[in-house]
Homo-oligomer: A and B are copies of this chain.
């Protein structure tokens, strides 16, 4: 009964089936019919012309996006707790050839225009300081909070006014959309987002993530950068197939809704123990080390998240049967 990470979850059956269905001779790299269909398929989903590139990790998607938005001598503003700052081993610096991340403060890893403005105000506009070129936000955030279209639009307006690019790390984008119930366009390009890391792996995929550019011209150099980073896989159809399988019939939303529902069940049981509101599939609890041990003794695995806190992540395949015992155990603490 693992609640460590949605990366621990298996791939959903549609993904496995899709791999078998494309297991024929076809063109190498991204020349196959499935890869070639992605632009159109995602343009339909997002109701605008997009460029969509598969890669094999969220880190690659994020950092290709950042490299498209920020030159080597520039900076990207992100939250202090952002995945790109803490959990990608310096990949942003690698892909951008040395850009800096400028860190903003804020509860729940969620940014506001005020927080971004505080970073901007701390930067002198001279040649001695690294100048911000982009903002990166995570939706749902690293603490499971969801930006609404209006919240993103407020940041998007600031970015437009200040000439900054706007990237959304959507490792849990499906969970955010499942929570919001809005059109994917509403919380992305309509709100000013220029590049989206559209996550599939945590949500029931296997090895395919998607980078979506809402400004198609941003993609031009990215095709080269993807190859140069070793992410233009030679049998790319097996990535395209995973993505298409999850878009077909809205499997991506089905999976995300299931995970969100599980987290909501835990949240209901947790009550005042919640560190953050539960809006996606992550639950952060205040627990003593004694209480954490009690839960673990019942077979529930999860990460400690700083002193006195625990992180529980629900994944797409954990149904009520899996969740109920943990919810009960939490309520019983």
A residues near B (Cβ < 8 Å) are 2, 4-5, 7-11, 16, 19-20, 23-29, 55-61, 63, 71-73, 75, 86-91, 93-100, 127-131, 201-202, 206-207, 221, 223-235, 238-239
Contacts and interface: CB of A to CB of B under 8 A. Distances in A.
A contact patch SS: loop
Quick one: which of A26, A98, A202 has the most chain B CB within 10 A? A98
Contact of A57 (B10, B72, B234): B234
Nearest to A22: B10
Copies in the complex: 4
Quick one: which of A19, A60, A61, A221 has the most chain B CB within 10 A? A19
B89 A99 contact: no
Given A7-B28, A87-B129, A89-B127, 13 more contacts: A4-B28, A5-B28, A7-B29, A10-B25, A56-B57, A56-B233, A57-B230, A59-B232, A63-B230, A73-B89, A89-B129, A89-B227, A127-B223
Quick one: which of A24, A90, A130 has the most chain B CB within 10 A? A90
A333 B223 CA distance: 40
B234 A202 contact: yes
A94 B97 CA distance: 7
A56 B207 contact: yes
A73 B57 contact: no
Contacts of A97: 72, 97-98
A57 B233 contact: yes
Nearest to A57: B230
